[in-house]
Amino acid sequence: MRLTTFSDYSLRVLIYLALHRERWVTIPEIANAYGISRNHLMKVVHALARSGDVQSLRGKGGGLRLARPPEELRLGALVRRCEGEAPIVECFSPEPGAPGCRIAPVCRLRGALAEGFAALYQALDRYTLADLAGNEQPLRLALLGEKVRARPPRNRRR
């Protein structure tokens, strides 16, 4: 399975927001950090705000932030919302009168695909946004060039 760019960007936005929970973040800031299109991000952010995953505030001093703690955002649910309900192959289409597949009555592909996608979402449901953003320092370094804070040396007794 290949996730859409929309799902990919949605997850990237949420990771960025999880790293900056203390403040409002702008779309240009996220676009610059990842090197991706602001126009694409505007569509993504709009959908994330509509779904209640992100809060948005217009005007000077506004921006975006997570609407819920990262521990409450399950990846499986996020990806399901982003990917939508479109059938993965023609034989999954619920539309009456949709062109049928000649081998549908004897095909085993539908069952195998359904099982595979169920397993994928089951695996994603075990993870939260907090799991993705748990390595905060390396992520900040990769995205923002922020240096990882050095820890003071431990005193050793001899």
pLDDT in tens, the chain (158 residues): 678 899 999 999 999 999 999 999 999 999 999 999 999 999 999 999 999 999 999 988 889 999 999 999 999 999 999 988 666 666 666 565 556 677 878 888 888 988 988 899 999 999 999 999 998 888 888 887 755 444 444 444 44
The structure's pTM equals 0.80
Which DSSP symbol is given to 21? T
Domain chopping of the chain, boundaries: 5-144
| CATH class as words, domain 5-144 | mainly alpha
Token digits of residue 127: 């993870």
Query: What is the reported pLDDT for 59?
Result: 86
Query: What is the reported pLDDT for 157?
Result: 46
**Contact (Cβ atoms closer than 8 angstroms) between residue 66 and residue 24:** no
DSSP codes joined into one string, 51-107:
TTSEEEE-STT-EEEESS-GGG-BHHHHHHHHHTT--SSGGG---TTPPPPTTTTT-
Residue type, 54: V
